[in-house]
Chains A and B, each alone.
Chain A
């Protein structure tokens, strides 16, 4: 490549990398003359609970109240009412449980029922499984004083209220028209799994649908009521007289009403949300499949009040995120500066490669985020692993080029031969790392997320090490006046001269 072309290309590369770096990491500032704020890509990340805190809320079964609630009600009672109220509850840690046999928590003797505890454990397991299916990198389901449930979600879940209020349902699935369960599902020993195969989410023409796959028996049942339902047009025209069928879990309606048009043979497609907003639909599907699998539970929870959702900052300190950026930034700086100091102009080319790695992974993490994965400590580890791999292989290339140069080859020839000799070994390592990342996609929650991020880091690292390093060095070397000085090589013949 000619010198002029190389110089132009170098300048263009520098400008592009500088601009992309700024987009990726330039600190937040207010745009002058406006109320808008510039945020770099790294500030767009969905951070896990470790760095960004999250939400938590409590589920209380019917018949269980908090000590605060108990004391507040107690203060309003007097005389016989006060004694009656005191007798109707039994303290258990920070909770008060109903002594009424009908609530099932206490037996006829007022003792805590072992059967209730066993049923409660099963409910906790089912609810934990629902949250596990949401794919959070970080979440927690704990039992509080044996009779309540504490749910913790990461701050990246912006629909925490919807998720919490949906997953609290433990009743059975029914279809209702006009407030009454449809014929065929209103018996005592009805098994809903005889009528419904599966719930899933599909998207068509920018709309997310809750899809209900019916069994043959279910298709027959729904066929029997289909003609009593209104069409969508009729429903949108005059909603008061329109007849829709509602999908219920216990006493809660799930999603929108079902009209005639939505039913097609053994499939019901209920439009629920726009494609970009399908979190609620996915949440419904998880709940419904959970009820289908586990059945209804005798224990029901109080209706969830979204106002009781608590939000909290990171328990690792308010500055956890900032400190993390500083730590990673210092590492990055060291990996850029050290090669420049030791290897001169080759180190400068190395710096461009490192920055390219930062840009690609930084932008991928930002734009593939948003409900797909969160940034956790595992993300930091994979980013560092990829970054160090790129640096180490750049150093390896340098050593190989130096070895070829010492055999008497020209600088350009040494560079080509050196890269060629290292090429397949580098491919082997990145192939193994990519296979590892693919294998760890089997992992759950945070490990699955880490594997996705590792895939991005290792593929980017492979691109940087296999192609980009060579390309940048080729351009820089072509623009260099003294090719020996570029690599800081000294030929013994030159010393004699």
Chain B
């Protein structure tokens, strides 16, 4: 059994697909609601150890100070998330180490205050990141996504058919939802860029789904196509090759970005890859399955209407004859 046949079999089970997608998205929503997202270290609450010094010490002894700090961290068994060096407009400078919020730095602070010479002070502060990603940011992103879906629905319904519009929008929502759910379930460290990835998932789903519909619309205009059922039309028009070329090209670009870049840029590339995979799965599987369901219903209604119109026309032609 070749891969296309396997795909066709999968597409032929819309109920199972719907249940699986809904379960994954629901699981993601529940995990996000109770445990939240795994926020990146730059967004979450933290304990910060700040070494303040004058500009001269900063420019001449920074490496020694850094070496002393890291030695002390190692001997105390604490690990920092990231560090930043900053200079002030005046004559002071700071070296800041950012730790997880549950790391106790009291002993480290005391030890460093003794070990470091030439610095003004070593202080430890707790930084509350005021809830990570603001709710208003998330709400506006969700509203934007909803508006995108409405606009896409309207465009495709006017340009083509209602069934195609419904299938595209459903696959966009599924792609975005799956991205969100996978990020929540797999605890990928997220920043504001998770919303970029959801937008990216919707774009990928839209583009990839339209590859299917290019073929479907072209075939439906032929004599053979007009005689086919929705299932036959869809299964014979799957744009698997085109979608996979698109997916592989994009994936290579993202893998390159993740491989070369560091730290959080790498996590961003992974989030974008998740968005790509969810978008492609949604367009390869969910969009055609949904289209078959909607097109079958639409064809059935059209057939009933045609039968009604025929009966009505027949009745109208008989009655005048009687009269």
Contacts and interface: CB of A to CB of B under 8 A. Distances in A.
A421 B249 CA distance: 24
Contact of B196 (A68, A305, A381, A438): A381
A229 interface: no
B151 interface: yes
B234 interface: no
A425 B217 CA distance: 10
Interface stretch (A7-15, A236-244, A387-395): A387-395
A438 B128 CA distance: 34
A66 B123 contact: yes
Nearest to B272: A381
Nearest to B243: A392
A320 to B, nearest CB: 7
B257 A380 contact: yes
B141 A68 contact: no
Q: Is the interface of A mostly helix, strand, loop or mixed?
A: helix
Interface string A178-200: 00000000000000000000000
B34 interface: no
Interface stretch (B199-207, B224-232, B309-317): B199-207
Contacts of A132: 134, 136
9 contacts: A140-B129, A313-B84, A324-B257, A425-B210, A443-B199, A444-B140, A446-B193, A447-B195, A450-B199
B53 to A, nearest CB: 11
B308 interface: no
Contact of A436 (B143, B152, B252): B152
Give the 3 A-B residue pairs with the shortest CB-CB distance, closest first. Answer: A307-B90, A310-B86, A94-B125
Contacts of A389: 207
B65 to A, nearest CB: 16
The number of chain B residues touching the other chain, given as a range, is: 35 or more
A377 B140 contact: no
B151 A438 contact: yes
A315 B207 contact: no
A115 B180 CA distance: 38
B206 A433 contact: yes
A265 B137 CA distance: 39
A440 B256 contact: no
A436 B89 contact: no
Contacts of B192: 138, 445-447
A145 to B, nearest CB: 5
Nearest to B139: A444
A330 interface: yes
Contacts of B193: 376-378, 446
A143 B130 contact: yes
A427 B92 CA distance: 57
Interface in A430-463: 431-433, 435-436, 438-447, 450-451, 454
B252 A334 contact: yes
Interface stretch (B6-14, B15-23, B67-75, B262-270): B262-270
A144 B86 contact: no
A148 to B, nearest CB: 8
A440 B200 CA distance: 11
B137 A320 contact: no
B152 A447 contact: no
Contacts of A144: 125-128
Interface of B: 42-43, 45, 50, 52, 82-90, 92, 94, 120-121, 123-130, 134, 136-137, 140-141, 143-145, 147-148, 151-152, 155-156, 159, 192-193, 195-197, 199-200, 202-204, 206-207, 210, 214, 217-218, 242, 245-246, 249-250, 252-254, 256-257, 259-265, 268, 272
Contacts of A381: 196-197, 200, 272
A415 B93 CA distance: 64
B196 to A, nearest CB: 4
Nearest to B128: A143
Contacts of B120: 68
B129 A444 contact: no
A331 interface: yes
B242 A307 contact: no
Contact of A311 (B87, B121, B210): B87
Contacts of A384: 250, 253-254
Contacts of A445: 137, 192
A56 to B, nearest CB: 7
A53 B242 CA distance: 40
A330 B323 CA distance: 82
A341 interface: no
A43 interface: no
A309 B89 contact: yes
B52 A68 contact: yes
B262 A316 contact: yes
Contacts of A378: 193, 196, 199
A50 B86 contact: no
Nearest to A137: B192
A22 interface: no
Nearest to A391: B249
A425 B216 CA distance: 12
Contacts of B203: 385, 433, 436, 454
Nearest to B90: A307
Given A316-B263, A440-B144, A392 B125 contact: no
